[in-house]
A and B are shown apart, each in its own frame.
Chain A
Amino acid sequence: MDLFDNVLHGFSVALQWENLLWSLFGVFMGNMIGVLPGMGVLAAISILLPLTYAMTPVAALMMLAGIYYGAQYGGGITCILLNLPGTPSHAVTCLDGNPLARQGKSGSALFMLVMASFVGASVGIVIMILFSPLLVEVAFQFGPAEYFSMMMLGLFAGATLAKGSAIKGIAMVFLGLLLGVVGTDVNTGTIRYGFGIIELSDGIPLVALAMGLFGLADFFANVNRIGKATTVGAGPKMSVRPEPGDIRKSAMPVARGSAIGAVLGILPGTGATIASFMSYAVEKRVSKTPKRFGNGAIEGVAGPEAANNSAAQTSFIPTMSLGIPGDSVMALMLGALIIHGIQPGPQMVTEHADLFWGLIASFWIGNIMLVVMNLPLIGMWARLLKVPYKYLFPSALFFVCVGVYSTNNNLFDVGMVLVLGLVGYLFLKLRFSPAPLLLGFVLGPMVEENFRRALLLSRGSMSVFIDRPISAGFVYAILALAVWLVFSTVRNRKKLRELERTQAQAGA
């Protein structure tokens, strides 16, 4: 069996000492960052990205991926103990997790959280093993026109289906594409948008952009805000023990959640967050006692947690096999691959089989490590929650500055982070989500290259994008999204007018 051999080969790569250690380091950091309030996965990955320059690509990817799914475990813990979602995909877990903790059942809730996460992740990994090679086969049929249309669809879907206003999201994607253009043009050697600054001829470094928009902008927004109101009374002894019957009650929600997460993880734009919300809604609908939801129903913890971990794993499928990231974390992963000189896409699976199958195997090993780690360490995580923000952000700021400096060994990049951080804060205030921008930025150069190549082959005729059937399919899907967008805008305006009317009535 070919597939079986590949998986075995993957494990032999993942179990090498160096890879195993970095993977462990990654999941540990991820878990910790998920628990620390006010630290996002994106900020963490971008801060640790410079650390990977000296590593082999395999170890680098394993560590970065470990941070991502490790944070999925950690984020749930803060929800249950503190009613404070560490990452947005855990917001639903708070709804039932925290009431359970207040009823003194935090041990049971935490146990189900860890187990549901593990099962969800395992389902996601199996789907990835089975599905990726199929997708690669299809992707080999693609030419530049198909790639361009597919990337545009991915960007559109990522922007419209994510949180917040869809039009603003699309605007951010285009802004990202434009920022990706900065630097020397590969085809002609012309420096674009350099403004005579030598440092800009290499383009904007991904690390500086990510740290500015996701690290610094968050510090600007959270300083003097976090840590004022949250005083935590975590229990003296944290034990992780399931209540009898909880496992039986949770089995079906975990299964459903894993399935929902697996599907939504593959689709671009929908990710862990939407998967967990959808799973919660489904569980509430199928439950015989929907009233228990919101007051401490274990199903409301198990389902969504399985869903978001399953989605966290399957979102690697399009990233790895097509080179199309579905969300901003995946965009950063892709950026890391490119920094290490590996061109993502279907060739990667065949040319860098070590990396691809090793990464999949490391997911499984990492998840097992997380389960083993979390069961005894819950008490430590609970104590970590008390690290005050006033010490956390200046220290993190130091890592940001040093990390960015070490990328190119120059201080100009640090200045760039400062500027991008201020811009990012403005985006936050004006409710422009920076995630689509990052997506556009990472895909930008690839989008442009495929666009130009397709037009070169067609001698400048735009019809190439709809003459080829696969590409046409993607273009029609984009059009369908656009129509839906117009429709929902009209509906939103109506809703808004109603909202204003009811408020006016309430005021009168």
Chain B
Amino acid sequence: MGPGYFPLMVGCFLVALGILIPLSPDPDEVQEELIEEHMPQPTRHERVRGMACIAAGIALFIVLGSYLGFLPATFALVFVSALGDTSNSVKSAAILALAMTVFGAVVFSWALQLQFPMLRWG
């Protein structure tokens, strides 16, 4: 019974379940899909833009956080992800980002003493 024993068993069960899933359709799911088709759905463009902006925001947070510090990272994260919502303008996104940056600086670095340099270089 080495360290691989349990994962191996779990893996075998997973394979078996994977085979079973396509064989057992759920009628509720089919009905849910029918209902969802009637709900207002974002267009393909809107959906892609939303997801891409959120993902890019987080990626920027990681990159800027490790090279430039907390403040630029926060601003970039909120600004870029806010642009993902098509009803946000560049101006409203910038205001929101600025507000969150100030809030973050006060609450996390000053009040909670987060171990994250505010500004750094390289």
User: Do A and B form a real pair?
Assistant: yes
Hey, which bits of chain A sit against chain B, CB under 8 A? Answer: 164-165, 167-168, 170-171, 174-175, 177-178, 181, 185, 187-188, 190, 192-193, 216, 219-220, 223-225, 227-229, 388-391, 393-395, 397-398, 401-402, 405-406, 409, 411, 414-415, 417-418, 421-422, 425, 431, 448, 451-452, 455-456, 460, 489, 492-493, 495-496, 499
Residues of A within 8 A of B29 (CB): 164-165, 431
Determine the distance from Cα of A397 to Cα of B55 in the docked complex, in whole angstroms: 10
In the complex, the answer to whether A496 meets B78 with C-beta atoms within 8 Å is: no
Determine the distance from Cα of A100 to Cα of B30 in the docked complex, in whole angstroms: 32
Interface contacts beyond A181-B10, A185-B3, A394-B97: sample of 4 additional A-B pairs, CB < 8 Å, sorted by A: A394-B79, A409-B116, A411-B62, A422-B55
Residues of B within 8 A of A493 (CB): 24-25
In the complex, the answer to whether B62 meets A402 with C-beta atoms within 8 Å is: no
Identify the 6 closest CB pairs spanning chains A and B, nearest first: A223-B50, A165-B26, A390-B85, A185-B3, A224-B42, A394-B82
Most B CB within 10 A of own CB, among A193, A397, A455, A496: A397
Nearest B residue to A171 by beta-carbon distance?
B17
A-contact 0/1 string along B51-72, CB 8 Å cutoff:
1011101110110011000000
Nearest B residue to A390 by beta-carbon distance?
B85
Residues of B within 8 A of A496 (CB): 25, 27, 30
Residues of B within 8 A of A422 (CB): 55
Contact of B11 among A164, A178, A188, A216 (CB under 8 A): A178
B interface majority secondary structure = helix
CB distance from B26 to the nearest CB of A (A): 4
Residues of B within 8 A of A425 (CB): 51
In the complex, the answer to whether B14 meets A224 with C-beta atoms within 8 Å is: no
Nearest B residue to A389 by beta-carbon distance?
B85
Contact of A390 with B82 at beta-carbon distance under 8 Å, contacts A165-B24, A167-B17, A492-B25 already known: yes
Residues of B within 8 A of A224 (CB): 42, 46-47, 49-50, 84-86
| B20 interfacial by beta-carbon distance below 8 Å | yes
Most B CB within 10 A of own CB, among A164, A167, A417: A167
Hey, which bits of chain B sit against chain A, CB under 8 A? Answer: 1-7, 10-11, 13-14, 17-18, 20-21, 24-32, 40-42, 46-47, 49-51, 53-55, 57-59, 61-62, 65-66, 74, 77-79, 81-82, 84-88, 92-93, 96-97, 100, 104, 108, 112, 114-116
CB distance from A478 to the nearest CB of B (A): 12
In the complex, the answer to whether A397 meets B58 with C-beta atoms within 8 Å is: yes
Pair count A-B, CB < 8 A? 170
In the complex, the answer to whether A495 meets B27 with C-beta atoms within 8 Å is: yes
Contact of B26 among A164, A405, A421 (CB under 8 A): A164
Determine the distance from Cα of A224 to Cα of B93 in the docked complex, in whole angstroms: 15
Contact of A395 among B2, B25, B78, B114 (CB under 8 A): B78
Determine the distance from Cα of A278 to Cα of B44 in the docked complex, in whole angstroms: 38
Determine the distance from Cα of A414 to Cα of B116 in the docked complex, in whole angstroms: 13
In the complex, the answer to whether B26 meets A401 with C-beta atoms within 8 Å is: no
In the complex, the answer to whether B96 meets A175 with C-beta atoms within 8 Å is: no
CB distance from A469 to the nearest CB of B (A): 24
Residues of A within 8 A of B59 (CB): 418
Contact of A418 among B58, B78, B108 (CB under 8 A): B58
In the complex, the answer to whether A492 meets B11 with C-beta atoms within 8 Å is: no
Nearest B residue to A193 by beta-carbon distance?
B7
Residues of A within 8 A of B85 (CB): 223-224, 227, 389-390, 393-394
Residues of A within 8 A of B54 (CB): 216, 219-220, 223, 393, 397
Determine the distance from Cα of A455 to Cα of B115 in the docked complex, in whole angstroms: 44
Determine the distance from Cα of A119 to Cα of B86 in the docked complex, in whole angstroms: 44
In the complex, the answer to whether A164 meets B28 with C-beta atoms within 8 Å is: yes
CB distance from A402 to the nearest CB of B (A): 6
In the complex, the answer to whether B87 meets A227 with C-beta atoms within 8 Å is: yes
Contact of A390 with B87 at beta-carbon distance under 8 Å, contacts A224-B47, A422-B55, A496-B25 already known: yes
CB distance from A505 to the nearest CB of B (A): 16
Contact of A405 among B86, B88, B116 (CB under 8 A): B116
Contact of A397 with B77 at beta-carbon distance under 8 Å, contacts A175-B14, A414-B61, A415-B62 already known: yes
In the complex, the answer to whether B25 meets A394 with C-beta atoms within 8 Å is: no
Residues of B within 8 A of A167 (CB): 17, 20-21, 24
Residues of A within 8 A of B30 (CB): 496, 499
Nearest A residue to B79 by beta-carbon distance?
A394
Contact of B62 among A219, A223, A394, A414 (CB under 8 A): A414
Residues of A within 8 A of B47 (CB): 223-224
Residues of A within 8 A of B84 (CB): 223-224
Determine the distance from Cα of A406 to Cα of B116 in the docked complex, in whole angstroms: 9
Determine the distance from Cα of A229 to Cα of B87 in the docked complex, in whole angstroms: 13
In the complex, the answer to whether A171 meets B58 with C-beta atoms within 8 Å is: no
Residues of A within 8 A of B116 (CB): 402, 405-406, 409
